[in-house]
Structure 1
């Protein structure tokens, strides 16, 4: 149901106290006025600076009230048989006063027998406990593509503004601004115009970059402009095949075919095997915005602040959808204990519920290193489409990883003995292989800036102590988790077959009874 329809239903049902959560006061008031004009309701707004003001056509003198208590008294005195909506701006600042809170509660109860309603605009969802039974929280949605098209149209019709947008460019420009408020979008479009004196298809990237900065201000979400492709990730053949099969999953063709949007995947495994890089690669492969959800940034010091940040971040992700939501090292953020009065438990519950119930096409990529810290309800079916385990790379994968990092540094792979290198780094993860190449480059650079060689990389491997040795017990515990069949291997098929052979060998070696 659209907001306009929802508001009309609430008013006709005589809901007496509505709390509208929005930072877009101007657009919200315009929308409310349109609803009241269409349905023949009177509408007045009140704030501490200007008192009562008519929002719809004036029907006599507006009541006089300069303080919140007097404003409530004037609402109570208004004609009970006239349909009217009273908008109280920033009134959440006043309801911390016990006298005003009591007065609001009493009036709200009496208005049930009238045609009057009160609507409070606020930027947060916190409501005093005494008012929770009488108040109804209503979210004012961010502007749709059609709304942003209207913002762009108003701006481009301004005299002196030069526009050279193709129809496709205009559509992409509006899509790039989805997730912004109307005021933010107007500022971004205006900046694009004054930057080079004209609004054209080249400004799409500028709008995207500005959007990146604005989303970062939400504290818990960070916008990534991804450029990684599957060629930038060595190995993980099974995972790449799974992703390519779903590359068109968010298209209208998929919806018409009857396919649901994929929910997400969990990437579990050994540190340094490319879990974070894979999350970035998915955004690039599917050409979707990548939003990193920083769980640690969700927690605030004020009562209810953490839950509000969580709600706002998830709502923003849905507005930007279709998108990829990346939750990195989720075991650290979701380790919910009992030392914070249940705040982390409530945040964790909100995220779990959203992952299960969301209808917006937000594909969740959750990464974790420590399986033991993950609650069992997180990994059950329904939260994720698949759980992938990223293991130590096979020799073929190590060869591919070496090639990726050599090409990234503008070196020809033919100049190196990849067979010898891939054999020498058995037990090394991708991050350790990359670091060995960097160490070899330092050797060559400090030796007269000569080209580094296969020998330099082999020497670098010898000086490293890989995780598979320094953290042998932890790595073995993680690999046992895969052998027990709790996840699907993300590597080439041969890895899975090798693990199956390993299990069979272990079974054959067990003592016979």
Structure 2
């Protein structure tokens, strides 16, 4: 039986009162776990003895009578010494995961767990390892000790500020975001992150939010399926998509305590559907910047393993880790390719997909899912139904105004001055080009200028390179038309603002701009 309740003290108290004889606590935070167990023993029954054992110091009494005759450092002998404890004692065993492979140790633990059920002795094994031997798993209650909550982190931050004597210039919102950024870390990890931020600036202010977020990257080393993105994109670096940007800014404070007090639930996620190259992946990075939350990319290919049940277990671990790090952005890129069902995998992909769908529907942790897709036909209908996403946005071919903005963004990125270019002509001549293609024409033009004695890039260079490129709206005309028809049928909201170049169709809008560069 597994316990995943965040209220560790209450659940432990219930287990002790129910005379559970063997409890395995999975946590890397040994010190916090021992402190929690000790507090439960002291508050419930101070006369009840609480004893801790490790392979170096042997036995030490934490609560109750301070004398204990056994001092063995050998695990088998230590288990024998437990007979000398009182019949209502709690014995905390550290380091015992190092002896999981010893059949005598496992047998002795099972024997004691069976014998102790007739009195009030309880064995508590602390381990950082998630794997528990099958022989012991059946006898034990398995508890996943939760990381520190916001109140614990806030109190620890106050202690650090007081003892260090530094100046704290955090705003109320900045303090809340720093605590949110530290959620999911162990207490030691959070302390190190706070200390490094203080040392970097000699003070603590709102600038340190991103530094705390970056510290979470180390936590992800436990999962090959999650990749931490340290670098994000600002809204100024993403051209167009005005409606989507407004939607995101409106929910910037959605993960704050103020929003909870107001009665607002944390947003679940969005699906970004549309034409390749229109900025879906860029948008996922932009959301992390606007909301100041860590961005995790789920590599679905890494979820699948060769052993029976391995894929499902990897999926559970990856999603559990994302919940531990929450609040965060979980980005699932090209989700239609990740879960393309095949007949040769014995239903593994379907089971993994079903687990992800169930998690998206039922999750209570503030994990905001951003799913991107290019091929609508490959998406199962149950993925896009209401309840799993707050909104489905369609990223269409950019309008005239958006193309002009995209040209400005990419010219500035490459140290060019947009005012020196004829943006009106570039926007008009790039009709039918997506953002990625516009970026490539600028890069091609820069190579052209660089090869000619590193002269300055001109509008004519970009136009020449544009003429040599076949846009996706031409090479994949049928695919693009099918995607835009899907939008016109009212199945999603346009991520861009409707302009005069768009006209109504079937109750929604669809771009009617012609493709100026269409080839015969």
- Normalising by structure 2, we get a TM-score of 0.82
Q: Determine the structure 1 residue equivalent to 2:68.
A: 61
Q: Determine the structure 2 residue equivalent to 1:43.
A: 50
Deviation, 1:218, is 3.9
Secondary structure of 2:63's partner?
Answer: coil
| Aligned equivalents of 2:422, 2:170: Cα separation in 1 | 52
| Aligned equivalents of 1:173, 1:385: Cα separation in 2 | 26
1:164 paired with 2:167, answer yes
Report the CA distance shift for 1:417/1:202 in structure 2 as closer, same or farther (over 3 A).
closer
Secondary structure of 1:279's partner?
Answer: helix
| Aligned equivalents of 1:297, 1:16: Cα separation in 2 | 38
1:179 paired with 2:184, answer yes
Q: Determine the structure 1 residue equivalent to 2:272.
A: 267
Deviation, 1:443, is 1.9
Deviation, 1:39, is 1.9
Secondary structure of 1:217's partner?
Answer: helix
Q: Determine the structure 2 residue equivalent to 1:211.
A: 215
Q: Determine the structure 1 residue equivalent to 2:285.
A: 280
Secondary structure of 1:388's partner?
Answer: strand
Conserved 8 A contact 1:226-1:283: no
Q: Determine the structure 1 residue equivalent to 2:513.
A: none
Task: Select 2:143's aligned residue among 135, 138, 142.
Answer: 138
- Return 246-255 or 83-92, whichever deviates more: 246-255
Q: CA RMSD in A?
A: 3.7
Conserved 8 A contact 1:53-1:62: no
- Kindly provide the CA deviation profile for residues 311-337 of structure 1, in whole angstroms up to 9, marking residues without a partner as x: 554445444443322222333444465
Q: Determine the structure 1 residue equivalent to 2:517.
A: none
Q: Determine the structure 1 residue equivalent to 2:515.
A: none
- The correspondence of residues 67-216 of structure 1 with structure 2, limited to 5 A, is 67-75=74-82, 77=83, 82-152=87-157, 155=160, 161-166=164-169, 168=171, 174-192=179-197, 198-201=202-205, 204=208, 207-208=211-212, 211-216=215-220
Report the CA distance shift for 1:210/1:405 in structure 2 as closer, same or farther (over 3 A).
closer
| Aligned equivalents of 1:125, 1:194: Cα separation in 2 | 34
Conserved 8 A contact 2:184-2:325: yes
Report the CA distance shift for 1:320/1:9 in structure 2 as closer, same or farther (over 3 A).
same
- Return 422-431 or 372-381, whichever deviates more: 372-381
Task: Select 1:246's aligned residue among 242, 251, 261.
Answer: 251
Report the CA distance shift for 1:292/1:255 in structure 2 as closer, same or farther (over 3 A).
same
Report the CA distance shift for 1:16/1:335 in structure 2 as closer, same or farther (over 3 A).
farther
Deviation, 1:140, is 1.1
Gaps of 5+ in 2: 1-5, 511-520
Task: Select 2:237's aligned residue among 232, 239, 249.
Answer: 232
Q: Determine the structure 2 residue equivalent to 1:509.
A: none
Conserved 8 A contact 1:125-1:308: no
Task: Select 1:387's aligned residue among 379, 383, 392.
Answer: 392
| Aligned equivalents of 2:508, 2:200: Cα separation in 1 | 62
Report the CA distance shift for 1:471/1:423 in structure 2 as closer, same or farther (over 3 A).
same
Report the CA distance shift for 1:262/1:205 in structure 2 as closer, same or farther (over 3 A).
closer
Report the CA distance shift for 1:212/1:3 in structure 2 as closer, same or farther (over 3 A).
closer
Q: Determine the structure 2 residue equivalent to 1:510.
A: none
Q: Determine the structure 1 residue equivalent to 2:514.
A: none
| Aligned equivalents of 1:329, 1:83: Cα separation in 2 | 56
Q: Determine the structure 2 residue equivalent to 1:325.
A: 330
Report the CA distance shift for 1:195/1:421 in structure 2 as closer, same or farther (over 3 A).
closer
Deviation, 1:407, is 3.7
| Aligned equivalents of 1:355, 1:398: Cα separation in 2 | 35
- Kindly provide the CA deviation profile for residues 485-510 of structure 1, in whole angstroms up to 9, marking residues without a partner as x: 44333233358745549999xxxxxx
Secondary structure of 1:14's partner?
Answer: coil
Deviation, 1:453, is 2.2
| Aligned equivalents of 1:411, 1:126: Cα separation in 2 | 55
Report the CA distance shift for 1:368/1:206 in structure 2 as closer, same or farther (over 3 A).
closer
